[in-house]
Amino acid sequence: MKKDQESTPSSTSTGGGATTAMRVIVPLQGVVQGRGGLILGSVIPCALFYFFQLYLKRNRSKGGSGENSPPPPPARSPSGTHLQESSPLQRVQSRSLLSPRGGGSSGPAPLLASRADSIAKQADGPYYVGLKRVSEDPYDGSSNPDGVIQLGLAENRLSLDLVQEWLAENAKESILGQDMSISGIATYQPFDGLMELKVAIAGFMSQVMDKSVSFNPSQIVLTAGATPAIEILSFCLADPGNAFLVPSPYYPDLDRDVKWRTGVEIIPIPCRSADNFCLSTTALDRTFNQARKRGLKVRGIIISNPSNPVGNLFNRETLYSLLDFATEKNIHLISNEILAGSTHGSEDFVSLAEIIDSEDFDRTRVHIVYGLSKDLSLPGFRVGVIYTFNENVLAAAKKLARFSSISAPSQRLLISMLADTKFIHLFMKNNRERLERMYNAFVTGLKQLGIECMKSNGGFYCWMDMSGLIRSYNEKGELELWDKLLSVGKVNVTPGSSCHCIEPGWFRLCFTTLSENDIPVVMDRIRKVSEICKSRS
Amino acid sequence: MRLVVPLQGVVQGRGGLILGSLIPCALYYFLQFYLKRRRSPPPPPPSSPRSPSTSSVNLADLPRSSSRLSLSTRGSIGRVHVSARASSIAKPNTSPYYIGLDRVRGDPYDPVQNPGGIIQLGLAENRLTLDLIEEWLSKHMNEAVLLGGVDGGLSISGIAPYQPSDGLMELKVVMAGFMTQVMGGTVSFNPSQLVLTCGATPAVEILSFCLADQGNAFLVPTPYYPGFDRDIKFRTGVELIPVHCRSSENFVPSIAALDQAFNQAKKRGQKVRGILITNPSNPVGNLLSREILYNLLDFARERNIHIISDEIYAGSVYGDEEFVSMAEILDSEDFDKDRVHIVYGVSKDLSLPGFRVGAIYSFNEYVLASSKKLARFSSISAPTQRILVSLLSDSGFVQDYLQTNKQRIRRLHDLFVLGLEQLGIESTKSSAGFYCWVNMSRLISPYNEKGELELWEKLLDIAKINVTPGSACHCIEPGWFRCCFTTLDDTDVGVVVDRIRNIVETCKSPA
C-alpha cells in the first residue's frame, strides 16, 4: 500500500498530461477548483483507508491480544511454529501446567462458540427460576403439602385419565401394528414424519377447528414439538439480524425458540389492557416503522391464537387486517394455533387457515404452527406441526426436520389414537367441559379475593391483574410480588414482565395441572400474600 | 493553500495527512450511507401514492379490498422472501448419496413383489438382528410404555406431561450402562455428563453450535460420512475442512495431514475449532488405534482445539481388533478432558434408527450446560424413552443381543466380501460398521471423479444397486464405494454379486 501511495504521483502524472504538476499531485485541488480529479481525489485515499483496515483486520485475527504476534518467542516445539490463537501459552508447558488460565483447572481451555457461552451463562428469568423452584419442591396434597404449587407451566392434566385408559388398552397393538411389524418402527423413517401420521393429524386439526377448514397432509412437516417447529420456521423465513414482530405479552419460551440459534430478533408490539390486550393495527404500524428506522429488516409477524398468555382469540377482522398488513409490507405471518382445541368460552375460534381459504390472499406468506402438546395433553410425546403454503419453506423445513424427528413408536401410537375417532370425540368433549369448569372455578375464586382476570376463551391459564397489590407500579414491584407469591405463598406464577407485558402487575396462572381440591389451597395462599401486601400499604 | 488542498501536505511531507485521508473517506462513507438508505426500504409497494392516507387513517378502517387489489398488480415481484439459508437448503439434492436414496425410495427391491427394483446398499441400517428386538418388544411393550413409575403402577404421568428436554435421568443411567457394556466394560460413563437428543444427527449439530461460531471450521479426516455436510453446515455456519487420507495408509488419518490442513486454514484466516472423527470409521470401517488417539489428543492440545469423536458404531465391531473409545484414553491419563466430546446413539448398535435416540457425552461443563438447553429443539418422545429404559435395563437381553448381532454382521461381511473377491474386487480390511469400502478404481474409465460417478450411475441404472460413491464422502482417490450389506440376507447377497458381475463385464469389454 505504501508503495502505491508513493507511486501515485509519478504514475498519474504520466497519464494526466498535466499542465500543472500541482493538479495531478494534489488531486483534491481539482475538486476545489471545480475541475477533474474528483475521482482520484476520493478513490485513492479510500483505497488507502481500506487497505489499512484490511491490514489491521488481518493483523488482529492472528494475535488475540497483541499487535505483533508472528514470532513466537521462546518455546519451539517439534511439530509447528504457529501458536494457536488466543492461547499464547507455550505448548511444552501446557502439559504440566494445568492451571494457568484464569482459575480454570485444565490447561488452556478450548474455546467455545460465543453463542454457546451466552446460552450457557444466560441468567434464567423468573419464568425459568420459578419452574426450577417447583421441580425442587413440588406440592403434593398428601406427601408434601407445603411444597410449591405449579401454576407456571402450561400443561393440561385434566383429561390424562382418558389418555391413560386408551393407552392401557391399545399401546401394544398400536406400536407394533396388527401384524407385529418391527420394520415400521425400528428402521429409518422419513425425517419429517410418517405420511400416515400427517394424514391423521390433518384430520385432527380440521376436527379441532370444527371442520371449518381442511388441511392438506402434504403441506405438513412434523417436528419434535412446536418448539423446533417455530425455530425451523425462523431459520427459513429470516436471516441473522432480521426481526419478527410479536404482539406482547407473548409466552416466555418464544425468546429461546426464535432467538437462540437463528440470530433473529423479536420486536414486541405492545398491547394494552385498555384494548383487552388485543393487537391494534396502529401499534403494529408504529412498531414496524420504528424497526425500519433502526435499520432492522422485519421479515414477519408471529401471533399466538388463542393467545398465550392472555387467552383471548383473534377475531376475523383482526386476522384480515393482519393479512393485509403482511401483504402490504410483503412479510410473513406465523400463526401459532397450538391451543386451537383448548377453547372454553362461547366465542368461536377462527384459524388463519380458514381466512385464507375464504379469500384470495397470497398464501405463500402464511405459516401455521400446531402440535399435540396442548390439545391432546401430550407434551411428553413431542409432536409439533408446521403447516405452510410456501413450497420453498416446505422443502427446507422437511430437510431441517432431520434435527427434530419424532420417534417412530410414538408416531405409530398416535396414528392409532387419532384414528380412533370415537375416543378423540369423547376426549375433546370431556376436555373442553373440564377446562371450562376449572376456569370458572378458578376465576370465581380469584374474584372472591377481589382479583380480576382478563376475560379469556382459550388456553390453560388466566391472565390476572394484581396491579393493585404491587408496591411500586413498575417491573420491580411486579417481581417483588412474584417473589412473595413464590417464597411466602408457595405458588409459582409467571409475571407479566417475563412475557414482555408493557403494563406491570399482570400474572399468568395455569390452572390445568390442579385438581378441583387444589383450588381452595391456591386461593388461601394467594389470599395470604394479598393480605400481607395490603397490610403494608 | 495547505488547508484547502490537504493532500498536498502528504506530498510535501508536512501535516495534513489526517485531513487528507479523513475528508474523502467521510465523503465516501456518506455517499455509501446515502445509497444504502435509498436502497434499504423494500421495493415500495405499488400503492405508495396512497400510502399517506394509509398512515393517517387507522389501518383497520381502510377498505380491505384496496390493498388486496394491489396483489394482482404486484404479481411476481411481490413474492415474499424466504431467508437466504432456507433457499440454499431448499435446493434439490445434488449429492449422489441423497439422489441414490431417493431413487431407492421410488423403486425398492423386493424379491417377490419387485424383483427388478433397486437394492439398497447406500443406507447404513442394520436389519440383521431386528427379530430379537421384535421378540423383546412384543413381550414387554405394554409394561415398557406405561410402567414408568417406581411403584410399578400404571403411570401416565411418566409419558404424557412435559419431561426434561435433555432426556429422562432413568434413561441416562441405563444409557451410560449400555455404553460401558458396548465398549467392553473398559470405561464407565457418568450419566450426568450425558445429554440425550433425538438421534445422533442433532447431537452433532448441537455440538457444532456449542464449539464453533459462524465461519469457524472443523477438520474432518476423509472419506467421511456424507450426512455430516448437512448436520454441520445447514444451520450452524461452520465449515468442514477435509483432511485427506489415502488408501496407501489404509485411510487412517495422519497427524502430518492434519497439521497441514490446520496451517492452510490458518493462512486463509479461518479459525479451526476442532477435529471431527468417526471411530469406528464411517465409511471405511476401520478402527483408530490407541496410538492414533493419543496423537490426535496431543494435536488437539497443541492447537487448543476440540475433538468430537462419533462412536456410534462402537458396539458393531465384528473383527478381531479391539475398539478403543476416546473416553478410555481420557480415563487412563491425565489429559485435559474439557476438549473431548463423544457422540453416541442407539441407531446403529441397537438397530433402532427409527427411535431417534442420540447422546452427547461431554466433559466440558459449559458444553453440557448449553447442550442441555439446546436439547429443547431435539427432545426424544417420552414413550420411546420408557421403552428404552426397560429394554436397556434387561441386561441379559442386551448381552445376548450384542453378541448375536456381532456374529451376524461378521458372517454377512465375510459372505459379501468373498462374493466381491470372486469378481476380482477388493475391499479395505474393515472390522466394524455395516459396510465395506470397496475399491472399484479398476472399473472406472477416466481415473477421476467423473469416471467414478459414471460407474455409480451405471450401478444405479443398469445393475439397479444403490451404493455411495467415494466422492460423496469427499474421498480424494476416485473409484471407492461404500456398500452397506446389513439390510441384505444371504440370498440377496447372491443377487447383488450377480448384478455387479454384469457391470464388471460391461466395463471390461470396451476397454
Residues of chain A contacting B58 with CB distance shorter than 8 Å: 281-282
The mean predicted confidence, pLDDT, of chain B is: 85
CA dihedral (A305, A310, A314, A319) positive or negative? negative
In this structure, which amino acid lies at residue B306? Answer: H
- At residue B242's C-alpha, the angle toward residues B239 and B248, to 5°, is 170
Distance, CA of B90 to CA of A389 (rounded, Å): 14
**Minimum-distance CB partner of B377 among A112, A227, A238:** A227
Q: From the candidates B119, B224, B308, B310, which is the catalytic residue?
A: B310
User: Is residue B466 classed as helix, strand or coil in its secondary structure?
Assistant: strand
* End-of-domain residue from the set B394, B425, B460: B394
**Mutual angle of helices A408-419 and A421-448, in 10-degree steps:** 90
Residues of chain B contacting A189 with CB distance shorter than 8 Å: 354
- Is the CB of B162 less than 8 angstroms away from the CB of A383? no
Asked if residue B223 has a cis previous peptide bond (ω within 30° of 0), the answer is: yes
**Minimum-distance CB partner of A185 among B142, B201, B354:** B354
Q: What is the CATH number of the domain that holds B291?
A: 3.40.640.10
- Between positions 418 and 447 of A, the ones with CB within 8 A of B are none
**Minimum-distance CB partner of B356 among A378, A380, A405:** A405
In this structure, which amino acid lies at residue B364? Answer: N
User: β-strands A332-336, A298-304: how paired?
Assistant: parallel
Tell me what pLDDT residue B79 has: 80
**B313 catalytic per annotation:** no
- b/e map B341-355, b = 16+ CB within 10 Å: bbbbbbbbbbbbbbb
Rounded to the nearest angstrom, the minimum Cα separation between A42 and chain B is 5
Check CB contact of A404 with chain B, cutoff 8 Å. Answer: yes
**Minimum-distance CB partner of A380 among B142, B163, B202:** B163
**Cα Rg for chain B, rounded, in angstroms?**
29
- Is the CB of A359 less than 8 angstroms away from the CB of B83? no
Clarify whether residues B245 and B355 are in a common domain: yes
* End-of-domain residue from the set B337, B364, B394: B394
Tell me what pLDDT residue B62 has: 36
Is position B42 within any domain? Answer: no
Clarify whether residues B490 and B418 are in a common domain: yes
Backbone angles phi, psi at B237, to 5 degrees: 75, 15
In this structure, which amino acid lies at residue A376? Answer: L
Close Cβ partners of A535 (under 8 Å, ≥ 6 residues apart): none
Q: What is the CATH number of the domain that holds B423?
A: 3.90.1150.10
Interface A–B counts its CB contacts (< 8 A) at: 381
Residues of chain A contacting B384 with CB distance shorter than 8 Å: 407-410
In this structure, which amino acid lies at residue B113? Answer: Q
Residues of chain B contacting A184 with CB distance shorter than 8 Å: 354
For A146, the grid coordinates are 407445603
Residues A406 and A222 sit within 8 Å (Cβ to Cβ)? yes
Return the H-helix or E-strand segment holding A385: strand A384-388
Tell me what pLDDT residue B94 has: 86
Is position B27 within any domain? Answer: no
Check CB contact of A276 with chain B, cutoff 8 Å. Answer: no
Tell me what pLDDT residue A109 has: 77
Distance, CA of B204 to CA of B220 (rounded, Å): 13
> A298 — alpha (psi -120 to 50), left (phi > 0) or beta?
beta
> What is the chain B residue with the closest CA to A513?
B161
Tell me what pLDDT residue B20 has: 55
Rounded to the nearest angstrom, the minimum Cα separation between A394 and chain B is 8
> What is the chain A residue with the closest CA to B21?
A45
Distance, CA of A246 to CA of A270 (rounded, Å): 9
Clarify whether residues B118 and B163 are in a common domain: no
- Is the CB of B64 less than 8 angstroms away from the CB of A320? yes
- Is the CB of B83 less than 8 angstroms away from the CB of A183? no
**B312 catalytic per annotation:** yes
Instruction: Go through chain B and tell me how many residues it has.
Output: 511
Clarify whether residues B124 and B159 are in a common domain: no
Clarify whether residues B390 and B406 are in a common domain: no
Tell me what pLDDT residue A426 has: 94
**B310 catalytic per annotation:** yes
Residues of chain A contacting B258 with CB distance shorter than 8 Å: none
Clarify whether residues B373 and B452 are in a common domain: no
Clarify whether residues B325 and B419 are in a common domain: no
Q: List chain A residues with pLDDT less than 50.
A: 1-37, 61-106
DSSP state of B41: S
Q: From the candidates B307, B312, B465, B503, which is the catalytic residue?
A: B312
* pLDDT band for position B141 (cuts 50, 70, 90): confident
Clarify whether residues B121 and B218 are in a common domain: no
Q: From the candidates B97, B109, B225, B435, which is the catalytic residue?
A: B225
Distance, CA of A385 to CA of A394 (rounded, Å): 12
Distance, CA of A329 to CA of A353 (rounded, Å): 20
Q: What is the pLDDT of residues B200-220, one digit of tens each?
A: 999 999 999 999 999 999 999
* End-of-domain residue from the set B347, B362, B394: B394
Rounded to the nearest angstrom, the minimum Cα separation between B302 and chain A is 6
Number of domain units in chain B: 2
CA dihedral (B246, B250, B253, B259) positive or negative? negative
Domain of B102 in residue numbering reads as 93-128+399-508
Residues of chain B contacting A400 with CB distance shorter than 8 Å: 89, 234-235
Is position B156 within any domain? Answer: yes
Clarify whether residues B307 and B403 are in a common domain: no
Is position B40 within any domain? Answer: no
**Minimum-distance CB partner of B271 among A85, A168, A187:** A85
**Which three-class secondary structure string do you get for B140-157?**
HHHHHHHCCCCCCCCCHH
CA distances from A16 to A7, A40, B10, B243 (A): 14, 11, 19, 52
- Is the CB of A183 less than 8 angstroms away from the CB of B145? no
Is position B62 within any domain? Answer: no
* pLDDT band for position B138 (cuts 50, 70, 90): confident
Is position B431 within any domain? Answer: yes
Clarify whether residues B480 and B453 are in a common domain: yes
Mean pLDDT of the B448-460 span: 95
CA dihedral (B57, B61, B63, B65) positive or negative? positive
Rounded to the nearest angstrom, the minimum Cα separation between A126 and chain B is 16
Distance, CA of A430 to CA of A44 (rounded, Å): 78
Q: How many CA atoms lie within 13 A of A179 on its CB side?
A: 3
User: β-strands A243-248, A298-304: how paired?
Assistant: parallel
Tell me what pLDDT residue B78 has: 66
- At residue A267's C-alpha, the angle toward residues A266 and A271, to 5°, is 125
Rounded to the nearest angstrom, the minimum Cα separation between B29 and chain A is 9
DSSP string, B391-450: HHH-HHHHHHHHHHHHHHHHHHHHHHHHHHHHTT-EE----BSSEEEEE-GGG-SSSSHH
Residues of chain A contacting B259 with CB distance shorter than 8 Å: 79-80
* pLDDT band for position B98 (cuts 50, 70, 90): very high
Residues A147 and A490 sit within 8 Å (Cβ to Cβ)? yes
Clarify whether residues B470 and B355 are in a common domain: no
Is position B382 within any domain? Answer: yes
- Is the CB of A49 less than 8 angstroms away from the CB of B21? yes
CA dihedral (B250, B252, B257, B261) positive or negative? positive
Clarify whether residues B233 and B367 are in a common domain: yes
> What is the chain B residue with the closest CA to A190?
B354
- Is the CB of B134 less than 8 angstroms away from the CB of A180? yes
Is position B6 within any domain? Answer: no
In this structure, which amino acid lies at residue A220? Answer: I
For B385, the grid coordinates are 424413552
Distance, CA of A345 to CA of A349 (rounded, Å): 10
**B348 catalytic per annotation:** yes
Give pairs for A125-129: CB < 8 Å, separation 24+. Answer: A125/A252, A125/A498, A126/A479, A126/A482, A126/A494, A126/A495, A126/A497, A126/A498, A127/A152, A127/A252, A127/A253, A127/A494, A127/A495, A127/A498, A128/A252
Tell me what pLDDT residue A182 has: 82
Tell me what pLDDT residue B24 has: 60
The neighbouring-strand residues paired with A225 are none
Rounded to the nearest angstrom, the minimum Cα separation between A533 and chain B is 33
